[in-house]
């Protein structure tokens, strides 16, 4: 069986892979995450997931029997990708834009070995309750939204803003476990390893 590598520094993705019983190693995968001109959100997240997996594979050039998993998540509101907020003002603007509305969270997962790279994109819909500016400011002050797509973490303190999730909760956190397990099975890497 191939050794699995995760091309991500996300602690949430590490926790999710551990949750389904997968031993893995971390590999760096530094890529440019700038969206391309006229690139749709779906194409964007899939491209980044594939690029991360392939960058990790390239880093492991001396190893033959490896699989690398890459993933990317984007919060999308009215067709616009909300990335990680650059500063407090941008985070507050994002939270106010999401307040009382539905938005999409797209997560792509890609698995690559020396022969192929396969990817899957999962779309989930998240509904926020109304969030006051004071709550947004207090949330910013916790430090949690600083490096989160869309300026919030559903698995963290922002859970109180979420009225409803339609789709994959784990995908909103950062890794769609059902689809990830299926992709890895196609590469002969089973879940629940001892």
Cβ atoms of residues 189 and 1 within 8 Å: yes
| Contacts (Cβ under 8 Å, ≥6 apart) of 5 | 24, 25, 26, 27, 56, 60, 66, 67, 68, 69
Residue 65: count of CB within 10 angstroms of its CB: 9
Check 32, 38, 72, 141 and give the catalytic one. Answer: 72
Residue 38 falls in the annotated catalytic set: no
- The whole-angstrom separation of Cα 40 and Cα 81 is 9
Residue 155: count of CB within 10 angstroms of its CB: 14
Q: Which residues are catalytic?
A: 72
């Amino acid at each position: 069986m191939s050794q699995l590598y995760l091309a991500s520094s996300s602690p949430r993705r590490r926790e999710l892979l551990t949750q389904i019983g997968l031993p893995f190693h971390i590999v760096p995968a530094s890529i440019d995450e700038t969206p391309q001109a006229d690139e749709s959100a779906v194409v964007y997240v899939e491209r980044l997931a594939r690029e991360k997996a392939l960058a990790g594979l390239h880093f492991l050039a001396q190893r033959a029997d490896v699989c690398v998993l890459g993933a990317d998540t984007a919060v999308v509101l009215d067709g616009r990708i909300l990335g990680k907020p650059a500063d407090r003002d941008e985070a507050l603007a994002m939270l106010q834009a999401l307040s009382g509305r539905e938005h999409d969270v797209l997560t792509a997962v890609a698995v690559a070995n020396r022969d192929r790279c396969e990817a899957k994109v999962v779309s989930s819909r998240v509904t926020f309750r109304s969030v006051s500016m004071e709550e947004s400011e207090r949330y910013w002050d916790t430090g949690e939204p600083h490096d989160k797509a869309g300026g919030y973490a559903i698995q963290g303190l922002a859970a109180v803003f979420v009225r409803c999730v339609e789709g994959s909760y784990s995908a909103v956190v950062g890794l769609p476990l059902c689809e990830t397990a299926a992709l890895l099975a196609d590469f002969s890497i089973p879940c629940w390893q001892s």
